[in-house]
Structures are given as structure tokens and as C-alpha cells.
Structure 1
């Protein structure tokens, strides 16, 4: 007599690109990825602003899971779980499949889904993340940048909504200026959309200057400041 049919592990074709990224971010935060995959996800989060935002959102979403619990080493619950599911007697092959499942993608998917369920149903959503915005418009040339900073991801996105790229041999450079008046470079703006990881706050001023190719050789703008605006909650 044949035993029960074992569930099939979901394959990559079962999910779309956004769903796969969402699941990857959840598994990365939960720590269920194999070591190599975890390191790859960590490296991607440092370069991919959209994926970093997913990771940060999962960190915020799952933070209540740690509230009210002291740090402790994880107990070995596998025998209890197996006994609860399969009973006190079970075929050796079934035990082997279940043990492998702890390291396989199928169980990781179940764990991620359970975390989503707990986060959504047992804990109310936290306060909306702070979003700062600014519109940087030049006076003498047709040039405009729209800035948006999302606190949940810690990523500033600057979109060139009007104007063209910097002239050949020059670069636009982005600066942030606090109440001391000291500018700090956030990088070059060579693409229509630029994402920068940064910690910002309302009232800080963003400015765009025209610099020699490669950016200012010093710690402050050397070329004309074309556009500037203060960040405000949007």
C-alpha cells in the first residue's frame, strides 16, 4: 500500500519576479537562506535600492516578533514537531524528507508565509514611515530634480524630471547641507534616476552643483550651484 503523497517543492516558475524578490527579502531577514544565498542577498541589498527597501520593510514588519522576549539559544524542537505531525511512529523515509525540508526551499517558503500571517494578523501595522520630498529647480536653465527619501528603506531617490545630462567633461553633483552650512557630497547624478543610501531629516537642504568630470576635487562645490531645496515631509 503506497504512503501519502508528499508535497512538491515550489519551483521558480511558480512566482513572478516581484514575488521572488519579496520572498527572498523575507527569507533573508528571517535567516532561513543558505549561507551563500544569504551573503548574495546581503551584497544585493547594498547595491539594489529597491531590494534594500524590501529588506528594510520586512525588518520593520517583523520587529514585533522580538518584542518582550529575552535572548536565548534556540531549543531543538524538531523531535517534538515531527511527533506532533507524524505521530510517535513514522517511516524513516518520511523523517529524512522532513529533516531535509528544514534546509530546503519548501520549508523556507512555509516559514516566510507563517511570518507574514503573524505579522499581518497578530500585530497591527506600525506608524507610516517618514517620507521626505523636495523639488530642486534651476533659475537660469531648464533643469529640475524631484527628490524623495523613504525612511523605511533609508534610500534617497533623485529623478531628473526636466533638462538634460551635464555637458561633456562635467558632472552634476548632489550635496546635502545641514544647519551648520557645511555641505556633504552624496554622489554624482549621471543617470535620469539616481538612488543613494543616506540618513536624512526634515529641514536639510539638497543642492546640485555643476562640477568637473568626476566631481568636486574638494569637500565643497567648486562649480555653480544650479538648484537647491529643503526636504519636507510629503
Structure 2
């Protein structure tokens, strides 16, 4: 048996799904119900969720026959034949009985709605993984870059080669379709991790700069390697 996500931890789409279901079920407080109704009039996506729950719950409702209150038959018998000498204990109020039944029904329905929302929600999309292989042409040097979109983490591994020469640093750059490089940081260790946001189609490049990195906003030393970021 797997644990279900509690409603307070739902994402925005799941929260909207639950709100639409409660609106159709009629369990929302008056003010929340008014807000939900107003939203359905201007928000086509939310209105579609409401309509879908009307269909779901309407189908469920059609499967049950209407039942008379449990105290209806004793009232009819008393009206026709008079009250018995030793009357049975008076049944609970019809409204009280239906209130309990309605409350229990609403509780069960809300639990069912939560199950529907959790079960029918689309699975989270697979995280985007981007990679690039940066191999220098004139020196024995190669870096492997891998970006994990779920964490926004770029990991650059020096697969071949040694540290930069004394007094110099390798610097990593990203280049978009404008052609303007932007520094992502220095590559001093065999494995370097950088927090950044990247997309497929960008280009990574590595230059050899003075110690501490380029004194300018663009590379000042030779660009040793460059490669596009592609999906793994």
C-alpha cells in the first residue's frame, strides 16, 4: 500500500481539481462557493474541470435510488391506525438523520475526490538532462558537461588532461543565439558543480584565462573547446 499525498501538499493543478470537485459536491463554504462560481465564469480551464466533475458525480448519483427517511413508515402507520399503547422510542428527527447521513456521505465523497485527484493527476514530467562533450583540438584536454534540469545543477568533469598551467585558469562560458558569451565560473577541480539554468541549443565553451578568470565580460584568452548542449 502506498502513501497518498495529503491535500495541503497538492500542486496548483491538483488544488484546482479538488476545488472543482468540492464545488460540484456542494461542500464549500458560501463565500468559497461564490468565488468558485465566479471563477468558472471567466476561467475556461477551471470551468472544464467543474463540468468534468459534474459528469463524474452525476454518473455516480444515477447509480443510487432515492431512499425515504427511516421514520417515514412509523409516521404513516400512526396516522392510519393511531399511536400504539406502548410506543417505541421516538425516532430521531428526519433532518438530524439526514444530516448525519449527508455528513457521512460528504466525508466519503471528499475522500473519494482526493483519491481521484491523486490517482488521475498526470505523472510529473521526466527531468530534462542536457550534455556536451568539450574536446580541445590542439591539446590533450577534454571536459564532459551534464546538466540536470530537476536540480538546475551543471556538473563538469575533466575527463582528460591536467590542471591549467601555473598562473592561469580554465573558465567555462555559455553562449546563446546572440553570440555573446557569459561566464559560468572557473574549472579548477577535476569535477566542478555549478548552479545555473540552461536550455537545449546553448553552446558551452572553455577558455584559458589569467588566474582568477577573464578580466573582461568576455574571454580574453584562447578558446580551447566548444560544444552545443543536447538532450541526453
TM-score, normalised with respect to structure 2:
0.50
The whole-number CA distance in structure 1 between the counterparts of 2:187 and 2:16 is 41
Q: Residue in 1 aligned with 2:133? A: 135
The whole-number CA distance in structure 2 between the counterparts of 1:63 and 1:162 is 46
Q: Residue in 2 aligned with 1:104? A: none
SS in 2 for 1:209: strand
Q: CA RMSD in A?
A: 3.0
Q: 1:166 to 1:121 in 2, by over 3 A?
A: farther
Q: Deviations over 1:129-156 (max 9, x none)?
A: 1111110000001110101111111111
Q: Following TM superposition, by how much is the alpha carbon of 1:67 offset from its aligned partner in structure 2, in angstroms?
A: 4.9
The whole-number CA distance in structure 2 between the counterparts of 1:141 and 1:175 is 19
Structure 1 or 2, whichever has the larger Rg, is 2
Give 5+ residue unaligned stretches, structure 1: 1-29, 31-60, 71-118
SS in 2 for 1:68: helix
The whole-number CA distance in structure 2 between the counterparts of 1:132 and 1:126 is 18
- Alignment partner for residue 208 of structure 1, among 206, 210, 215? 206
Q: Following TM superposition, by how much is the alpha carbon of 1:68 offset from its aligned partner in structure 2, in angstroms?
A: 3.5
Q: 1:62 to 1:219 in 2, by over 3 A?
A: same
Q: 1:69 to 1:214 in 2, by over 3 A?
A: farther
Give 5+ residue unaligned stretches, structure 2: 1-8, 20-116
Q: Following TM superposition, by how much is the alpha carbon of 1:209 offset from its aligned partner in structure 2, in angstroms?
A: 0.3
Q: Following TM superposition, by how much is the alpha carbon of 1:165 offset from its aligned partner in structure 2, in angstroms?
A: 0.9
Q: Following TM superposition, by how much is the alpha carbon of 1:194 offset from its aligned partner in structure 2, in angstroms?
A: 0.8
Q: Residue in 2 aligned with 1:155? A: 153
Q: Following TM superposition, by how much is the alpha carbon of 1:126 offset from its aligned partner in structure 2, in angstroms?
A: 1.9
Q: Residue in 2 aligned with 1:77? A: none
Q: Deviations over 1:189-215 (max 9, x none)?
A: 011111111111111000000000000
Structure 2 matches for 1:154-233, cutoff 5 A?
154-233=152-231
